[in-house]
A and B are shown apart, each in its own frame.
Chain A
Amino acid sequence: MSFDFWIWVSAFLTLCVFSFLYKDNPFYKFAEHLFVGASNGYLVTIIWHGSLWPQGIRPIFTEGNWWLIIALIIGMLYFTRFFPRTSWLVRIPIAIVMGYGTGAAIPATIQADIMRQIQGTVLTPQNFARWNAGSSGVIWTILLFIGVACTLSYFYFSREHKGVLGVTSRIGVVFIMIGFGAAFGYTVMARISLLIGRLQFLLGDWLGVLQ
């Protein structure tokens, strides 16, 4: 069993959170509030020491980068949100962030998420080889192509799903369901992994039961 005070604090807080599995209780609420408070305190401190002071305030006063005052003022306009008479000023920093962010994101999204994904669905020898499955790569690529085409047809709502469209959309539903099943399986794996991580801590680091 550990003699480290902070291990005991971590173990106590872990058990407080786990107690919610039985039902809501004051121990859980205590841990929840402590987490929110500690996280925000940590974040404010790190942002001051890691960003605001070394990259904003210090360069202005010690290196003479006076132009940074403009950036600081624009950033501080976010706080006008708290005052009804000046709250409209918050649009200025939001507009700058949105403009820059959207400008950078649109070409990136088109290239990485649309163009490359379309290329990856086309029946080419390069895509056959990517499966690392030998000659079976052809089959997997064709299956992928059918899956993508049929799934897209399911989301075509301008015509009633009858005839050919009815068949392809039903096949699309099968692919969607397989996708949901895979996502659910991965979600279970992720959540159980987190539980295992905490139990490794409780049984190993705290109680010393694990070798």
Chain B
Amino acid sequence: MKAFEYLSKIDRRIIYLVIGVVVILPLIFPTVERVRVMAPAQSLFNAVDSIPEDMVLMIDFDYDPQTMPENEPMAVALLRHAFKRRIKVAALSLYVQPLALALKALDQVTEEFNARAQTSADSIIYGRDYVLLGWQPPPIVPLLEMGISISNVYSTDYYGYRTDSLPVMQGIENFNDVGILVSISGGNAPLWWVGYSQVLYGVAVGAGLTAVSASDFYIYYQTGQFSGLMVGMKGAAEYEELVESKLQVPGERKASEAMPSLTAAHLAIMVFIIIGNIGYMMRRRI
């Protein structure tokens, strides 16, 4: 009976150690795990894929280093999709901290495409193919005012260029010219876009979410308020799968590479929950 008592009181450090081992081993010895694409990611992919030529994909980078492992692969996959399809991208952030991460993702994907480009037309060029609008406090200002005029809210971009002088912004006046706005966030920013910008101006909104907030957001997908979702690292892996399989865009797939570790960790936690419950029930019986 001591064994059951021990099982129900396993030292948390042993649990951490086991979780560490089951996460590390699949990273070092990778196995192929096919990512099954679910409807929310597929819907988002379809919505982005169908953006007309004269409209822009607006990406709200609202994640910080705490949620970067989940959110960054989403941003990278989304940018690969847009650049491959030559969809114009306007990036922004509602808060200041994510700006550096937005810049990192944009630079990474731009370099990937430019390394394979043969001509200027194939290249991804700042100002022609994408713009980083920057950050405009407080968040309510871009949420509401971009429905009237984007260049009034962001008169200059992140680098100080006048936004109305950039080729990428020609013909892009307000939310009517935004094909879809995708908010990649570790918090509630996607709901603000729905609550303010969509309610007032009808802009289509998609979201890249951390898994911890997923259950709060799914209801908005079910009602059609979100055109599509990427949920957690799994959602990012699904989008990576879509971009590679449908558009043949190569590149590092950080989320997909993490899937075996994620599966192993989930199994380990399930085993611990079962062991804990068996230990608890057996002790009660004694």
Contacts and interface: CB of A to CB of B under 8 A. Distances in A.
Given A189-B232, A200-B27, A21 B16 contact: yes
Interface string A156-194: 000000000000000000000001001100111111111
Given A193-B211, A200-B254, A43 B199 contact: no
Interface in B22-71: 23-24, 27-28, 30, 39, 66-70
Nearest to B194: A112
Tell me what chain B mostly uses at the interface: helix, strand, loop, or mixed: helix
Contacts of B135: 50-51
19 contacts: A22-B13, A46-B99, A50-B96, A50-B134, A101-B140, A111-B195, A112-B191, A113-B195, A132-B39, A144-B222, A179-B215, A186-B212, A189-B232, A194-B67, A194-B69, A195-B19, A196-B27, A199-B20, A203-B27
A58 to B, nearest CB: 12
Interface stretch (B79-87, B110-118, B176-184, B257-265): B257-265
B266 A203 contact: no
A144 B195 CA distance: 23
Chain B interface size band reads 35 or more
Given A21-B16, A192-B261, A199-B24, 19 more contacts: A50-B135, A104-B196, A108-B196, A112-B198, A112-B225, A116-B220, A116-B223, A117-B219, A120-B223, A130-B224, A183-B215, A189-B234, A190-B210, A190-B232, A192-B19, A196-B261, A200-B258, A209-B28, A210-B27
Contacts of B137: 47, 51
Contact of A130 (B200, B212, B222): B222
B23 A199 contact: yes
Contact of A111 (B16, B199, B215): B199
B7 interface: no
Contacts of A22: 13
B274 interface: no
Contact of B222 (A47, A112, A120, A194): A120
Interface in B169-221: 191, 194-196, 198-200, 210-215, 219-220
Interface string A129-156: 0111000000000001000000000000
B165 interface: no
Contacts of A42: 97
B39 A192 contact: no
Given A43-B96, A188-B269, A200-B258, A107 B219 contact: no
A203 B16 CA distance: 18
Range class of the A interface residue count: 35 or more
A197 interface: yes
A197 B210 CA distance: 13
B144 interface: yes
A108 B16 contact: no
Interface of A: 21-22, 42-43, 46-47, 50-51, 100-101, 104-105, 107-109, 111-113, 116-117, 119-120, 130-132, 144, 179, 182-183, 186-200, 203, 209-211
A112 B199 contact: yes
B109 interface: no
A107 B24 contact: no
B69 A112 contact: no
Interface in B137-168: 137, 140, 144
A179 B191 CA distance: 20
A198 to B, nearest CB: 7
Contacts of A198: 69
B198 A187 contact: no
B198 to A, nearest CB: 7
Contact of B23 (A47, A188, A192): A192
A194 B66 contact: yes
Contacts of B30: 211
